[in-house]
Amino acid sequence: MGLTPNLAPGQQFAPTAGRSTLEQLRAVTTGEQSVIVSLGGDILENVVDTPLATAALKAASLIAVTGHGGPSLAFADVVLPTTVMHERLGTVTNIEGRVSLLAPKVTPPGSTWPDVAIASELAEEFGQHLGLSDPEETANVIEVTTGYPCGSAMRSAMEGVVVGRVDAQTERRPLDPMAFPGIRSADLVGIAPRAGAIASSDASTAGVASRPTLSNVAGDINPVIPMPDTYSLRLVVDRTIYDNGAAVRGTEALRALVPTSVLRVNPHDLTRIGVTSGGAVRLTSARGSEVIAVLADGAVPRGCVALRLGTRATAEASDSANVVNWIVDSEQVVVEVRMESL
């Protein structure tokens, strides 16, 4: 289903808006909020304003639910270790809206718990009974209450179930777990005499979740955007699938995939200052100035430059601090930068 601010289960927008990440960090530093619950990601590695995040973590009572380490754990009062993606049963939803099964491939080490078990036990401590004991039961409850087809994906649709699609779904017969170690047990999925894609006659009648709309979004979603500066460029910050976070750093086979910091620029804007792709420029914002390598990228619109959060400053660097942390002011709606040749 994903975990996004103001997005409720079933990909529907929540009717009321809560505090954003920055608002929570500020609230902790001012004493309005006293507890932070961190789910999965490391806070210090996922915010731009690291001084604010550090001050908030020092002031807060931090409960960290995670399967990986990270610098934020040094501030944690309670750490609840959970299983990670290849150790647990669950689903994943891609950008198409296809919900696919995730099956455990290895046995989790030590005393890690599934997320569902942790949530249930925490609820019991606060006098609430969720009635959820395992991922399958949780998936079924989610599907019944929201229409999101994670339960169907777990039960039979080995090719996944697409959210919002009402035509006949395709499901795949399970493979023999004796021949393919790591897939779910024969008792759980059943063994059929054949394998391959077959049409499911009743899948089209199954309830599916609808895509979210903007009709009931809480709060003001119309920030005031200043007019662009003739001599400046707008900075766009995005993510990379293999960032320098704790999960990737903890997987030796993935570490080499973390890119170094590079400024992606439209070729037209590079030509204007006489710099070629692969060269270096000085990038200056209201917050600071740094020298960074540039890469010509026709996908970047003219008048804009792009940086990725979570890359390494250099190929040899082990931390994830990069130009984004030094250039971006998280208090600003947009970030204007100036690019100069050296």
pLDDT band at residue 223 under the 50/70/90 scheme:
confident
Rounded to an integer, what distance in angstroms lies between the CA atom of residue 163 and that of residue 171?
Answer: 15
pLDDT at residue 216 greater than cutoff 60: no
pLDDT band at residue 159 under the 50/70/90 scheme:
low
Least confidently predicted of 22-26, 160-164, 178-182: 178-182
Nearest Cα residue to 337 out of 295, 300, 289:
289
- Which pLDDT value is given to residue 57? 96
Which residue shows structure tokens 């047990």?
185
Find the angle CA(41)-CA(45)-CA(50) to the nearest 5 degrees: 130
Report the percentage of the chain scoring pLDDT > 70: 74
Rounded to an integer, what distance in angstroms lies between the CA atom of residue 21 and that of residue 44?
Answer: 12
- SS3 category, 192: coil
Interhelix angle 21-30/50-59, nearest 10 degrees: 50
pLDDT band at residue 215 under the 50/70/90 scheme:
low
Q: How far is CA 224 from the centre of its chain?
A: 27
Of residues 179 and 243, more confidence is placed in 243
23-27, 43-47, 147-151, 319-323: which is most confident = 23-27
- SS3 category, 73: helix
Q: Which residues contact 18 (CB under 8 A, 6 or more apart)?
A: 5, 6
Q: What number is the average pLDDT over the span 58-78?
A: 92
Nearest Cα residue to 311 out of 272, 260, 277:
260
Q: What number is the average pLDDT over the span 255-280?
A: 92
Rounded to an integer, what distance in angstroms lies between the CA atom of residue 74 and that of residue 35?
Answer: 15
Domain ranges (residues) in the chain: 7-205, 233-341
148-157, 189-198, 235-244: which is most confident = 235-244
Nearest Cα residue to 172 out of 153, 151, 154, 195:
195
Q: What number is the average pLDDT over the span 291-318?
A: 84
Q: What number is the average pLDDT over the span 321-340?
A: 84
Residue 298: other Cβ atoms inside 10 A: 9
pLDDT band at residue 10 under the 50/70/90 scheme:
low
- Which pLDDT value is given to residue 198? 43
Q: Which residues contact 190 (CB under 8 A, 6 or more apart)?
A: 174
Give me the phi and psi of 251, to 5 degrees please: -115, 105
DSSP per position, 255-271: GGGPPBP-EEE-HHHHH
- Which pLDDT value is given to residue 58? 96
Domain 7-205 CATH (choose: 3.40.50.970, 3.40.50.740, 2.60.120.10, 3.40.50.2300): 3.40.50.740
Q: What number is the average pLDDT over the span 140-168?
A: 71
Domain 233-341 CATH (choose: 2.40.40.20, 2.40.50.100, 2.60.40.10, 3.30.110.30): 2.40.40.20
- Which pLDDT value is given to residue 150? 81
- Which pLDDT value is given to residue 288? 87
pLDDT band at residue 26 under the 50/70/90 scheme:
very high
- Which pLDDT value is given to residue 196? 44
Residue 311: other Cβ atoms inside 10 A: 23
Taking a C-beta distance cutoff of 8 angstroms, is the pair 56, 25 a contact? yes
- Which pLDDT value is given to residue 191? 44
Joined tokens for residue 192: 């059929």
- Which pLDDT value is given to residue 210? 53
Find the angle CA(289)-CA(248)-CA(291) to the nearest 5 degrees: 15
Q: What number is the average pLDDT over the span 319-339?
A: 80
- Which pLDDT value is given to residue 12? 65
Which residue shows structure tokens 């806070």?
43
Rounded to an integer, what distance in angstroms lies between the CA atom of residue 132 and that of residue 120?
Answer: 7
pLDDT band at residue 92 under the 50/70/90 scheme:
confident
- SS3 category, 187: helix
Rounded to an integer, what distance in angstroms lies between the CA atom of residue 50 and that of residue 54?
Answer: 6
pLDDT band at residue 69 under the 50/70/90 scheme:
confident
Q: What is the pLDDT of residues 99-134, one digit of tens each?
A: 888 888 888 878 888 888 888 888 888 888 877 878
Joined tokens for residue 165: 């699609």
pLDDT band at residue 299 under the 50/70/90 scheme:
very high
pLDDT band at residue 298 under the 50/70/90 scheme:
very high
191-195, 240-244, 316-320, 335-339: which is most confident = 335-339
- SS3 category, 61: strand
